[in-house]
Structure 1
Amino acid sequence: MSTTRNLKMVWWKVVLIGISLTGIILWLGLPRLLHAIGLHPSYDMPSYNLRGKRALVITTSHDTLGETGKATGVFGSEMTVPYYAFWDAGLDVDIASIKGGEIPVEPFSMGWPLATPEDKRFKKDNEAMNKLKNSIPISQVDPSEYDVYYMAGGWGAAYDLAQSPELADLITKANANNKVLGSVCHGALGLVSARSEDGSPLIAGRKVTGVTNRQIKQLGIEVTPKHPETEMRKAGAKFESKTATIEMLATHVVVDGNIVTGQNQNSGYETSHRILEIIDNQISQ
């Protein structure tokens, strides 16, 4: 009996050790696996020195996914990757949102296993976190104050970016002031209500990209009221995108004059690069 009992104890210890090791391997390995199959692909960002220039990162203020009651907001990397790309290039960077104040963040987007190095850096950055908690209301933003007006995505953006008259007015005037306009994923909705100087939709006839209807369907978020691909096509834009079996692993960036758009969360690095490239070229001319 004693031998049998000891064998059972040893067996259970082996099982518990196995479970623990599996958990550790999963914890350490899943982020690397997701990266390996194409989530947040590595990107070689050039170095810039653009001190004296300013960028504004604009986000949603909406925190609930429709009638589901689930929390939503800005997608972490779509805010943090451009924020640090601009910051590290020497730009002064502020953060604004539709209503101002604390910005809601997609609960899963800045944690395991999706967090990027920029997400982790942001959460440890007291200055950046203070900007997140005390964002500038769009109604208080000067359309001539910044060199770059960049709009981050996240599912919350489907509820208030295209619907905001203040944002439409800001982007309309920023464009008239020859500012660089950028967006990633659902952030492209911030472009659809803006106007050109002749009163036509700003993006009519312009090449753009944003999150595709296919990705929205795959993610099961068709409940959202505005879909970038649909709305941009309605506005007369020449919508472009890349596709993949898992659409969120695709990436595409489009530059059309002063407008730089990225398809989804994978596109933040190159979108930021192309924005900085435009600013650098402006200085060089």
Structure 2
Amino acid sequence: MSKRILMVLTSHEDMGLSGKKTGNWFDEVATPYYLFKQAGHEVVLASPKGGSAPIDPFSYDEMFMTENTHKFLKDPAAMRDLSNTSVLRNINYRSFDAAFFPGGYGQLWDLANDSFALQMIQDLIYTNKHVALICHAPAILRDVKKPNGEPLVKGMNVTGFSNSEDDELSLSRHLLFQLETALKEKGANYQRSEKNWVPKVVVDGYLITGQNPATSPFIAKTLIEQLAKV
């Protein structure tokens, strides 16, 4: 049965005062986008500001491009979706069956501090709907609460981009905060792969998290599998 998936992207493209550009990691948008559609699901793109959602320039490097990113660039419908995202606050997220958050450093600046996004995640999880976040997107969970006011991730199994992966990119000093540290401070049972850049997906109830860009197809397939059980 076809489901509706809300894909929530960052609108932020500046990495603090570093002068570096960021945005959404391209393959974390493109690969799930096509896998969801191939599974027969509807995909709606939204972002805090709406309109064109920025892609991290680094993710256009050929070493990070994939069959799906190349396909996306040549797909008028996909590029139109990316250029015309809906304003997140105008979305009736309760009409969706799941939410998916691609990663990118921009999420640390806007979505991690977006009260609407935080409330949406809580509402979806506690109405038995799946929320999946990959790479840096799990940083958004830092300030999501349980209905009793405790951190959502307290006692939960989660993953996301590791401190050592940030360090390997020499970007740690430019960040507002590091995801791994922040989630551990909130009481999460943070898990990661044994080596950097190795895929890892963690499922805890209706929350699905993925560690890094290599996890992109795996977290998309996991969400598809979870939706098939509903």
Q: Does 1:235 align with 2:186?
A: yes
Structure 1 gaps, min length 5: 1-49
Q: CA deviation at 1:198?
A: 2.1
Residue equivalent to 2:50: 100
Structure 2 gaps, min length 5: none
Q: Does 1:270 align with 2:215?
A: no
Q: CA deviation at 1:280?
A: 0.6
* Aligned match for 2:207, one of 245, 249, 259: 259
| 1:56-71 matches, cutoff 5 A | 56-71=6-21
Which one has a bigger Cα radius of gyration?
Answer: 1
**TM-score, length-scaled by structure 1:** 0.77
Q: CA deviation at 1:237?
A: 0.9
Question: For residues 196-228 of structure 1, what are the alpha-carbon distances to aligned partners after superposition, in whole Å with 9 as ceiling and x for unaligned?
Answer: 222221111110000000000110111111221
Question: For residues 228-279 of structure 1, what are the alpha-carbon distances to aligned partners after superposition, in whole Å with 9 as ceiling and x for unaligned?
Answer: 11121122111000132xx2x2221101111111000011111111111111
Residue equivalent to 2:170: 220
Question: Aligned-residue CA RMSD in angstroms?
Answer: 1.3
Whole-Å Cα distance in 1 between the matches of residues 78 and 35 of structure 2? 13
Q: Does 1:173 align with 2:123?
A: yes
Q: CA deviation at 1:123?
A: 1.1
Residue equivalent to 2:71: 121
**TM-score, length-scaled by structure 2:** 0.95
- Provide the identity percentage: 31
Contact 2:10 2:110 (8 Å CA) reproduced: yes
What SS does the corresponding residue of 2:143 show, helix, strand or coil? Answer: coil
Larger relative contact order (Cα-Cα within 8 Å, sequence gap ≥ 6) = 2
| 1:1-285 matches, cutoff 5 A | 50-51=1-2, 53-222=3-172, 223-244=174-195, 247=196, 249-282=197-230
Residue equivalent to 1:13: none
Misfit runs of 4+, over 3 Å? none
Q: CA deviation at 1:143?
A: 2.7
Q: CA deviation at 1:191?
A: 2.0
Whole-Å Cα distance in 1 between the matches of residues 56 and 211 of structure 2? 18
Question: For residues 18-38 of structure 1, what are the alpha-carbon distances to aligned partners after superposition, in whole Å with 9 as ceiling and x for unaligned?
Answer: xxxxxxxxxxxxxxxxxxxxx
